[in-house]
Amino acid sequence: MEDYQKLTDELSLPCCVLSVDRIGENDCGDIHIVCANQPYRDVMGPKYYDGMLYQELVPKDSKYEEWCFEAAFSKKRMHAYVETKALGCWTDQQAIPLEGGDENRAYVLYLFEFTKYADPSRMAAVSMNTAATVIRSCITLMGGEDFEKSALIALEEIRKATGALACRIMLVDDVKKEAFTFTEVVDEARLGREPRHVEISYDIVKTWKDMIGVSNCVIVQNENDFDEIEKYNPAWVNSMKTNNVSSLVLIPLRREKNVIGYLYVVNYDTSKTADVKELVELMSFFLGSEIAIHQLVNKLEDLSRTDILTGINNRYAMEKYLDELIDSRFLPFGIVMMDLNGLKQINDENGHQKGDEYILRSVEAMKDVFGMSNLYRIGGDEFVVILNNVTRSEFEDLVEKMKKREAEDDIVSIAVGSYWVDSKNSAREILNTVDEDMYAVKRQFYTEHPQYDRRNKDITEQDQ
């Protein structure tokens, strides 16, 4: 549950993690609020406490329960904009399924924001052509299973409607100081007459926020516009002219008040600038929201597959990948099982911080040989490596290299077992086989170093 709290604390919108119980085959049981971030607590007031039933805060609602149940057990991202009469407002809410739980209990991340009144004016007060393009694009965005493909189709709708050479989404990570193209569409028929719009550096992109200022967009449709921008941002104007940009409408993509990227069209039909601005502005709202959710889902997936201490893949990721290899008959491949010798003694005698340092040093040794992407932590002191793009000879060389690396380390001691999988077996059979090989090495270590054997301290072999 600590990880769930960390997740909610990273989000600026009021949000919480809900546990949803299943009763019988397909009925919704209790829904508890497991934990919440501070904005959620502020909204809900002093009545809130972790673990409470949701109906202790708001009236029990069967439709809401069915909505949460669908998200939790069907593993579907749910979105709704509904009137919440009990609170006297409208609620824009999302439920995102989380990993964890079992067949009778599942978890969802619930995010919401309130609006005092239903305000459809921004979406309603548009031209018929804009409305038609927005509707088609939104249906594509919200109905597709592959979000990036759906976004590409939506951009093509925008490009055609604006008569642009290209339409692009650029995302920005100010922490990493990176800007990159998320997706882009180009009118290939015009490329012979107009050069392709190339990638733009972060140093240029980071200036856009200041250029937009209190406005919500940048529009360039003639030389006067270029001249005006050049007074404040000559580097950007030079970049545009170098890339043969003659016109542009650029609008930020936001998550709350934070800019996460930009949507823009280049070399569009300037006779329709008002309509182009209207369309790009409205689509930025939907695309910004969907991209933020897409990023959050990806982050949740990364968290569900990552070991918190070491940053490498975890047991869940290993089981998923191993099952994929077996189901796809991707044979042969090699699997290595490694176990840290003496970790229990280090924890007992020097504390868990020293034990963590020992684990991290051991992981660095493993990464030096096998790389990070192939490495999985499946238990406190147990690690697995899966290699499917090597020959048997290459695999055996890497195993020997690991053993040599371990032998040369004065601190780290690792039992290494390996198995070359060249026939279809179950995941359990494969892991049992390599586990036996690894424990043969481990038993030899404890024979040679009895002072590290926990069995000599009346600890059972099962706890080893």
Do 291 and 320 sit in the same domain of this protein?
Answer: no
The secondary structure of residue 372, as a DSSP letter, is: S
From residue 412, give the alpha-carbon distance in Å to each of 191, 244, 275, 291.
58, 58, 66, 44
Q: Is residue 308 part of a domain?
A: no
Both 377 and 323 in one domain: the answer is yes
- Tell whether 235 is covered by a domain: yes
Residue 253 lies in a domain: yes
Whether 100 has a pLDDT exceeding 70, the answer reads yes
Look at the block and give the residue holding tokens 């979105």.
79
Residue written as tokens 């979000």?
147
Q: What confidence tens digit (pLDDT) does each residue in 274-308 have?
A: 788 878 888 888 888 888 888 888 888 778 888 98
Query: Residues 272, 162: contact at Cβ < 8 Å?
Result: yes
Q: Is the same domain home to 325 and 252?
A: no
Sign of the dihedral through C-alpha 312, 315, 317, 322: positive
- For residue 307, is it within any domain? no
pLDDT in tens, 319-378: 888 888 877 777 788 999 899 988 888 998 899 999 999 999 999 999 999 999 889 999
Q: For CA atoms 10, 13, 14, 18, give the dihedral sign.
A: negative
- Quick one: 411 and 452 in the same domain? yes
Whether residue 289 sits in one domain with residue 268: yes
Residues 135 and 103 in one domain: no
Taking CA atoms, 234 is separated from 228, 246, 251, 353, 387, in Å, by: 10, 15, 19, 53, 51
For residues 52-73, average pLDDT? 85
Strand order of the β-sheet with 218-220 is: 178-186, 166-173, 258-266, 248-255, 218-220
Other CB atoms within 10 Å distance of the CB of residue 339: 23
In a domain, 88, yes or no: yes
Of 34, 45, 117, 41, nearest in space to 68 by CA = 34
Domain that holds residue 349: 313-463
Distance CA 416, CA 463 (A): 19
Q: Where are the alpha helices (DSSP H) in 193-350?
A: 202-205, 208-212, 223-232, 234-242, 273-304, 315-327, 343-350
User: Which of 450, 408, 451, 441 is closest to 338 using CA atoms?
Assistant: 441
Distance, CA of 139 to CA of 157 (rounded, Å): 12
pLDDT at res. 38: 95
Q: Are residues 83 and 38 in the same domain?
A: yes
- CATH code of the domain in which 94 resides: 3.30.450.20
195 or 41, higher pLDDT: 41
pLDDT-based confidence at residue 459 (cuts at 50, 70, 90): very low
Q: What is the pLDDT of residues 6-50, one digit of tens each?
A: 999 999 999 999 999 999 887 889 999 999 999 999 988 999 999
Q: Does 143 lie in the same domain as 81?
A: no
State residue 9's pLDDT score: 94
Whether the per-residue pLDDT at 110 is higher than 60: the answer is yes
CA 21 – CA 72 distance, rounded (Å):
9
Residues 322 and 434 in one domain: yes
Same-domain status, 196 and 172: yes
Q: Work out the pLDDT band at 446, boundaries 50, 70, 90.
A: low
Give 263's strand partners.
169, 251
Q: What is the CATH number of the domain that holds 244?
A: 3.30.450.40
Token code pair at residue 262: 């930009």
Select the more confidently predicted residue: 115 or 314. 314
Across the chain, mean pLDDT equals: 83
Chosen domain end from 302, 327, 354: 302
**Percent share of the chain, pLDDT over 90:** 37
Judged on CB neighbours under 10 Å (0-12, 13-18, 19+), 107 is: buried
Q: Which residues are CB-contacts of 283 (< 8 A; sequence separation ≥ 6)?
A: 133, 134, 137, 154, 158, 263
Note whether 282 and 361 are same-domain residues: no
- Does residue 217 belong to any structural domain of this protein? yes
Are residue 293 and residue 323 in the same domain, yes or no? Answer: no
What is the count of structural domains for the chain?
Answer: 3
For residue 172, give the nearest of 133, 139, 201 by alpha carbon: 201
The DSSP-derived string for 90-115 is EEEEEEEEEEEEETTEEEEEEEEEEE
Cβ atoms of 32 and 19 within 8 Å: the answer is: yes
Domain final position from 83, 115, 147: 115
Does the pLDDT of residue 255 top 90, yes or no?
Answer: no
- For residue 457, the model assigns a pLDDT of 46
Q: Which residues contact 443 (CB under 8 A, 6 or more apart)?
A: none
Percentage with pLDDT > 70 across the chain: 83
Residue where a domain stops, chosen among 260, 276, 302: 302
pLDDT at 411: 86
- Which regions of 4-137 does DSSP assign to beta strands (E)? 15-23, 27-36, 78-84, 89-102, 105-115
The winner for highest mean pLDDT among 138-147, 173-182, 251-260 is 173-182
- What is the SS3 assignment for 324? helix
